[in-house]
């Protein structure tokens, strides 16, 4: 079974205002609401790629109900822990550029946390779980680390996609797969990273230092670097026009997981991951499997000397 875990989900409120101005009333040209948060996005893309999965996490209030209803409408199984507060609202403002305002997370009580831990005891050997997104403020930065420490020895593959302290802590538990973007990697080492070569260098350093089996460093229009068994590959994205980058990184994670579970070919999975990320970046919502497969058939990886 595949699970995703979103401890800090959100309703993504996407607003288009081409001539946005500060200090005046702006009216949106169009707007959309999506069930969001990184793990939930991974669930939605996995579903589009034909991979059955269950979304776990904390939801509450009217926003939480929206998320549950939206996922049910897409036939995605959910088993959320209900919390008292409202799941946050994240604003994605599309003007000539993209501006994001991610809301405050609700309180997570120790009872909520216990309920989640209880659910996680039901996972079995051979299962996969994606731990993705930020942690609510009231949750310890070591939470992903604890979960990976508990689940990995049971033969459960843990994918982690987060940033800052939560990422640093999680690395020390050696998750199976991580997907920092180049900003997150740069923050870990406190260096600027702008080129694929720099990302390759620090991605390999990270893999060697922490012993993570699969490291995929995404670089938006520059594709991704994949580091596995001490080899480094650069995967260029397919040609296309950027429409919406929200969730492109989550699509990348879903693409890797979907392909890896299909045929255990790690390099093929990494190429499929970039195809999926780009197919979502080139779409208004998320990718379709048809687009992903079409891009994938045109793509390749280049081995770098590192
Ligand atoms: N402008 C673009 N052109 C082509 N592909 C893109 C573009 N932006 C994103 N992608 C695709 O999406 C993948 C992930 O993008 P990115 O590195 O921005 O992830 P991220 O920062 O985690 O994204 P987000 O947080 O917005 O979901 C890239 O590896 C690439 O395949
Ligand atoms: O605040 P976090 O948890 O880091 O990121 C949350 C978020 O920005 O990430 C997703 C896109 O990757 C959106 O659906 C969501 O709003």
Q: Are residues 181 and 144 part of one domain? A: no
Domain termination site, one of 112, 131, 162: 162
Which one, of 248, 261, 241, 238, lies nearest residue 287 by Cα? 248
Report CA(277)–ligand 1 centroid distance (Å). 6
CATH code at position 108: 3.40.1190.20
Task: State yes or no: ipTM above 0.90.
Answer: yes
Given 99, 129, 162, the domain boundary residue is 162
pTM for this entry = 0.98
Supply the pLDDT for residue 5: 98
Structurally, the chain folds into a number of domains equal to 2
What is the 250 CA–ligand 1 centroid distance (Å)? 9
Strand 128-132 relative to strand 2-6: parallel, antiparallel, unpaired? parallel
Supply the pLDDT for residue 167.
97
Residue of 127, 250, 293, 305 marked active site: 250
Q: Do the domain assignments include residue 103? A: yes
In a domain, 45, yes or no: yes
Are residues 113 and 62 both part of a single domain?
yes
Q: Are residues 155 and 183 in the same domain?
A: no
Pocket of ligand 1 (CB under 6 A): 181, 218-221, 223-224, 237, 242, 245-250, 252, 274, 277-278, 281
Same domain (yes/no): 1, 150 = yes
Looking at the fold, whether 213 and 131 belong to one and the same domain comes out as no
Co-location of 195 and 129 in the same domain? no
Domain range for residue 110? 1-20+30-162
User: pLDDT tens string for the chain (306 positions)?
Assistant: 999 999 999 999 999 999 999 999 999 999 999 999 999 999 999 999 999 999 999 999 999 999 999 999 999 999 999 999 999 999 999 999 999 999 999 999 999 999 999 999 999 999 999 999 999 999 999 999 999 999 999 999 999 999 999 999 999 999 999 999 999 999 999 999 999 999 999 999 999 999 999 999 999 999 999 999 999 999 999 999 999 889 999 999 999 999 999 999 999 999 999 999 999 999 988 999 999 999 999 999 999 998
* Helix, strand, coil abundance in the chain, percent, nearest 5: 40, 25, 35
Is 150 in the same domain as 5? yes
Q: Are residues 93 and 191 in the same domain?
A: no
Q: Is residue 124 part of a domain?
A: yes
User: How far is the C-alpha of 188 from the C-alpha of 174, rounded, in Å?
Assistant: 16
Domain co-membership, 11 together with 141 = yes
Q: State the closest ligand 2 atom to the C-alpha of 12, by its place in the atom list counted from 1.
A: 16
Given ligand 2 and candidates 33, 39, 90, 139, which is best to mutate, with the most ligand atoms within 8 Å of its CB? 90
Q: Could you tell which of 272, 281, 298, 301 is best to mutate to test the pocket of ligand 1, judged by most ligand atoms within 8 Å of the CB?
A: 281
Q: Are residues 181 and 114 in the same domain?
A: no
> Is 25 a member of any domain?
no
Note the pLDDT of residue 306: 85
Residue 133: per-residue pLDDT: 98
- Residue 158 and residue 180 share a domain: no
Q: Which of 162, 196, 225 is the last residue of a domain?
A: 162
Q: Are residues 157 and 60 in the same domain?
A: yes
């Amino acid at each position: 079974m595949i699970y995703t875990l979103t401890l800090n989900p959100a309703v993504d409120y996407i607003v288009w205002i081409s001539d946005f101005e500060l200090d005046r009333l702006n009216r949106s040209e169009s707007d959309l609401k999506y069930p969001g948060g990184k793990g939930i996005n991974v669930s939605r893309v996995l579903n589009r790629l034909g991979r059955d999965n269950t979304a776990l996490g904390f939801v509450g209030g009217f926003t939480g109900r929206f998320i549950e209803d939206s996922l049910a409408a897409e036939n995605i199984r959910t088993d959320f822990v209900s919390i008292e507060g409202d799941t946050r609202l994240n604003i994605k403002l599309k003007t000539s550029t993209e501006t994001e305002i991610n809301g405050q997370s609700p309180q997570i009580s120790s009872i909520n946390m216990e309920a989640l831990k209880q659910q996680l005891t039901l996972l079995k050997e051979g299962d996969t779980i994606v731990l993705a997104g930020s942690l609510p403020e009231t949750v310890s930065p070591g939470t992903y680390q604890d979960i990976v420490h508990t689940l990995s020895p049971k033969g459960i593959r843990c994918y982690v996609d987060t940033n800052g302290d939560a990422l640093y802590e999680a690395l020390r538990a050696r998750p199976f797969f991580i997907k920092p973007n180049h900003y997150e990697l740069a923050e870990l080492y406190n260096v600027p990273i702008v080129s694929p070569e720099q990302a390759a260098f620090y991605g390999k350093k990270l893999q060697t230092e922490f012993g993570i089996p699969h490291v995929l460093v995404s670089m938006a229009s520059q594709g991704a670097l994949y580091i596995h068994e001490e080899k480094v590959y650069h995967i260029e994205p397919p040609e296309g026009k950027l429409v919406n980058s929200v969730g492109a990184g989550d699509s990348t994670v879903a693409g890797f997981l979907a392909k890896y579970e299909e045929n255990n070919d790690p390099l093929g999975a990494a190429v499929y991951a970039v195809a999926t990320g780009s197919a979502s970046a080139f779409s208004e919502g998320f990718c379709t499997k048809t687009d992903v497969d079409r891009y994938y058939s045109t793509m390749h990886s280049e081995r770098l000397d590192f």
